[in-house]
Amino acid sequence: MKIVRFSTTGGRVSASVKVAAKREGSYELRMWEKETNALVGGSPWRGTFLNNDTDDWWLPRPNLENDGRLLQCVVTLSLPADVRSAAVSLVLMQDGEEIGREAKDIPEGVEDHQLSLWVQLRKGG
């Protein structure tokens, strides 16, 4: 699991889900409370890669409360057999700067694929 450090006194942290190249698919972004099986209120956030809607999500404030929380992104993609590979990323931003990224590549020739990306948020960025 990737650890992403953020500033407790900085601006609001955002999480983006990206796929390159564009593919058919959907995702669910879950934020888990620190050391419990409970989801943070407002989570999960859902989206698809089939539209022009934003796939950027603001994390709850105050920032300090996010220390130790986990982000889990569950992605399902449909890849035509004759199409090249794809990469899925969970990107975290604060104050206009990328503070962390977790990514996985999906190899060529895989038609349907499901994956999870995990990030733990820690203060101190």
Domain count, the chain: 1
CATH at 69: 2.60.60
> Are 106 and 116 spatial neighbours (Cβ–Cβ below 8 Å)?
no
What is the bridge-based pairing of β-strands 112-123 and 24-32? Answer: unpaired
3-state helix, strand, coil in the chain (%, to 5): 5, 55, 40
The boundaries of the domain holding residue 9 are: 2-123
Ramachandran bin of 81, using left for φ above 0, alpha for ψ from -120 to 50, beta for the remaining angles: alpha
Angstrom distance (rounded) from CA 96 to CA 68? 22
pLDDT digit of tens for each residue in the chain (125 aa)?
999 999 999 999 999 999 987 778 999 999 999 999 999 999 999 999 888 788 999 999 999 999 999 999 999 988 777 666 789 999 999 999 999 999 999 877 777 889 999 999 999 96
Nearest to 66 by CA among 100, 115, 97, 27: 100
Angstrom distance (rounded) from CA 13 to CA 7? 9
pLDDT at position 83: 67
The residues pairing with 119 across neighbouring beta strands, listed in sequence order, are 2, 71
